[in-house]
Each structure stands twice: as C-alpha cells, then as structure tokens.
Amino acid sequence: MRATRAALAADRESASAHAAALAPLDLWPRTPIVAAYLAMETEIDPAPLLDRLRAAGARMVLPVVIAPGEPLVFREAVVAEALQPDAAGLAAPPATSPALRPNLILAPLLAFDRAGGRLGQGGGYYDRTLHILRATGPVWVVGLAFAGQEIDLVPMHAHDERLDAILTERGYSVVR
C-alpha cells in the first residue's frame, strides 16, 4: 500500500485541492476543534482543507506522541515555526500549547475500505486514541486519502477503530 500511495502522490497537489473542495463543511461540527496532521512523504496533504476549515472558524490541533504505546494528545497548533519533535520524532506543538479535545479528526492512512476500515502506519496510536475519545463523547473521524487507496477489505482486529467517513479527491462518503 505504501507503493500504491507513492504512485498516487504524483498528483498530490491537485488531489489535495479537489478533496478540500469536496469537503461537506456543513455536515461537520460547527466551530470544530479539528485534529489534523502534517502530511509526511506521500500522504494526501490536508493543508487546503485546513485553510477552508480555518476560514469557517475551526481551531486546529495536531497529534503529539507522548510515549510509545500511549494514546495521542492533541495540542493546539498556532504557529508552525513553534513545532518540535515529539517522542516519535514527528513535528508537533510543544508541551506549552494547550491540549484540546477534537470533535473532528482528519486521519491519515495507508488504505481504507467502504465499511470504514482503516489501515494506518502500524503503531496503533489512532486506534488507542479514538477508543478513548469515543468513550467520552462525540467525535467524527474522517479518513483523508487518495481514492486509489481504497481496497476491498481492510483486515480489522478487535482493537481497531473504524472511520465515520472517507474524503478523497473523488468525493465524500459516510461509512457508518
């Protein structure tokens, strides 16, 4: 799936813009706190979508890995220059940034299926985090991907969390 995503990323800028234009902001929480991600390598870039969300009044948070095997913490991302490596070496807001509970999560992925199955990077961070968030209140989880990342069936385990919707450059679909 990494090779598939890499091939799809040749048109990343256009695909990211198309996906952003197709996002149904009117269906998502009003004045959301949005957990986004910084696109790595060949991931579809959420930046154009984040621009739309910010213009609609959303606050942005980024995931922070505190320790291996632990759930993510989402910290407000105000100034990109203030980012620093987290426990996994990924750019993240510093500990001085407020931790906020998102009500909309844009989840990166390697593959997805139409039933909301999500194949992540393999660390289980999003699964652990989504399990806790869903137990404490509403959260809407949207997989952001290239349409070509869809597969027939993502192998799921008991601890895996499903997506609520998928957004690609070809459209938006609710899966739950």
Q: Enumerate domains of the chain plus CATH numbers.
A: 2-174 (3.40.50.10420)
Query: For the CA atoms of 110, 108, 42, 7, what is the dihedral angle to 10 degrees?
Result: 40
Q: Are strands 73-76 and 104-107 parallel, antiparallel or unpaired?
A: unpaired
pLDDT in tens, the chain (176 residues): 988 898 888 889 999 999 999 999 999 988 889 999 999 889 999 999 999 999 999 999 999 999 999 999 999 988 666 899 999 999 999 999 999 999 999 999 999 999 999 999 878 999 999 999 999 999 999 999 999 999 999 999 999 999 999 999 999 999 96
Alpha-carbon distance of 127 to 150, in angstroms, equals 19
* pTM beyond cutoff 0.85: yes
